[in-house]
Amino acid sequence: MLTAIILTKNEEKNIEKCIESLRFCDEIVVVDDGSVDNTVKIAKKLGVRVVGCKMQDFSSQRNWAIEQIKSNWILFVDADEIVNQELGDSIQEAVKKNDANGYLVQRVDHIWNHKFKYGDVGNVWLLRLARRGAGQWLGEVHERWEVDGRIEKLVGELSHYPHQTVVEFLKHINNYSTLKANEFYKNGRKTNILEIVFGSIYRFVYLYICRFGFLDGTAGFVHAMLMSFYMFLVAGKLYLLYKGIPHGQTPAN
């Protein structure tokens, strides 16, 4: 049996398309973090199970979600992602063959009407399908699923449609930089003036030049600039935390 898990918070714009792309699964479970829009209403109308879970961090929420189901196989999909037909077929075949403990899927970002092939989001493979009990999620933000045993790759595309405007992108990196700075602070990670000044510059050069972001044209330049600003925010917020100046815990979307 295969269960798809979707984490949501105010995802009324995305949730229907996401759910419809997962109809090949035996069960679909939406784990909602207190949405105040129509996310829960839409999900229930589409006939999927909805459970509430207040998020402490992303890994804790995902691990809690795993405990709520009994399926042998679990597929994690974010609300702004869509499983295409080829990937859906590949997932079903993998579950039937039962040859590995976990499977990587290729996620492709579609932002500003552009399909990204390079830079920070180019050639990204994520472990999203695994046996129940084969591993656990680690990390408070930019979390990862650590699964023991054999890991293979699936064919097909996990289409990702995040922050479709620059305003949404800025909100996203502000929220995530807060979470990341808090995580670093709790783990004793420190920063300095060199990292604050040059870290973002290095990040831009790495993404735009070393990872060929320039081949994505103007969209690749804008994306690399925003991701370098994210690095600046993480370092700057971490510095302020050590100065005793809290920046608050901004809820992630």
The rounded percent of the chain whose pLDDT value lies above 90 is: 92
Indicate whether 115 and 195 sit together in one domain: no
Tell me how far apart the alpha carbons of residues 215 and 94 are, in angstroms, rounded to a whole number. 34
Q: Would the pLDDT of 173 be above 60?
A: yes
Tell me how far apart the alpha carbons of residues 250 and 111 are, in angstroms, rounded to a whole number. 23
Q: Residue 253 falls within a domain, yes or no? A: no
Retrieve residue 22's tokens: 């997962």
Q: Are 118 and 211 in contact (CB under 8 A)?
A: yes
Q: Residue 250 falls within a domain, yes or no? A: no
The number of distinct structural domains making up the chain is 2
Minimum mean pLDDT range among 11-25, 50-64, 87-101, 156-170: 50-64
Tell me which residue of 121, 113, 123 sits closest to 218, measured CA to CA.
113
Question: What is the identity of the amino acid at 111?
Answer: I
If 0-12 CB within 10 Å is exposed, 13-18 middle and 19+ buried, where does residue 175 land? middle
pLDDT tens digit string along 189-240? 999 999 999 999 999 999 999 999 999 999 999 999 999 999 999 999 999 9
Q: Residue 248 falls within a domain, yes or no? A: no
Indicate whether 6 and 32 sit together in one domain: yes
Residues in a beta bridge with 124: 107
- Whichever domain contains 117, its CATH number is 3.90.550.10
Tell me how far apart the alpha carbons of residues 236 and 230 are, in angstroms, rounded to a whole number. 10
Average pLDDT of the segment spanning 136-152: 94
Tell me which residue of 9, 49, 7, 58 sits closest to 29, measured CA to CA.
49
Tell me how far apart the alpha carbons of residues 209 and 202 are, in angstroms, rounded to a whole number. 10
Minimum mean pLDDT range among 121-125, 136-140, 236-240: 136-140
Q: Would the pLDDT of 249 be above 70?
A: no
Q: Which of 130, 160, 190 is the last residue of a domain?
A: 160
Indicate whether 170 and 146 sit together in one domain: no
Question: What is the DSSP code (8-state) at residue 26?
Answer: S
DSSP letters, 178-232, are: HHHHHHHHHTT----HHHHHHHHHHHHHIIIIIT-GGGGHHHHHHHHHHHHHHHH
pLDDT classification of 252: cutoffs 50, 70, 90: very low
Indicate whether 178 and 148 sit together in one domain: no
Indicate whether 27 and 68 sit together in one domain: yes
Tell me which residue of 45, 21, 43 sits closest to 33, measured CA to CA.
43
Indicate whether 151 and 190 sit together in one domain: no
Q: Residue 251 falls within a domain, yes or no? A: no
Q: Residue 23 falls within a domain, yes or no? A: yes
Q: What is the pLDDT of residue 248?
A: 59
**What H or E segment, with its residue span, contains residue 110?**
strand 102-111
Q: Would the pLDDT of 55 be above 80?
A: no
Indicate whether 81 and 202 sit together in one domain: no
Indicate whether 89 and 51 sit together in one domain: yes
Indicate whether 38 and 147 sit together in one domain: yes
Average pLDDT, the chain: 95
Indicate whether 146 and 170 sit together in one domain: no
Q: At what angle do helices 166-186 and 217-242 cross, to 10 degrees?
A: 40
Q: Which of 141, 160, 179 is the last residue of a domain?
A: 160
Handedness of CA 9, 141, 233, 220 (dihedral sign): negative
Indicate whether 154 and 133 sit together in one domain: yes
pLDDT tens digit string along 107-119? 999 999 999 999 9
The rounded percent of the chain whose pLDDT value lies above 70 is: 98
**What H or E segment, with its residue span, contains residue 83?**
strand 81-83
Q: Which of 160, 190, 209 is the last residue of a domain?
A: 160
Q: What is the pLDDT of residue 56?
A: 78
Indicate whether 191 and 171 sit together in one domain: yes
Domain with 21, as residue range(s), is 2-160
Tell me how far apart the alpha carbons of residues 9 and 251 are, in angstroms, rounded to a whole number. 10
Q: What is the pLDDT of residue 59?
A: 93
Q: Residue 91 falls within a domain, yes or no? A: yes
Please state the pTM of the whole predicted model: 0.91
Q: Per residue, what are the HEC states of 148-186?
A: CCCEEEEEEEEEECCCCCHHHHHHHHHHHHHHHHHHHHH
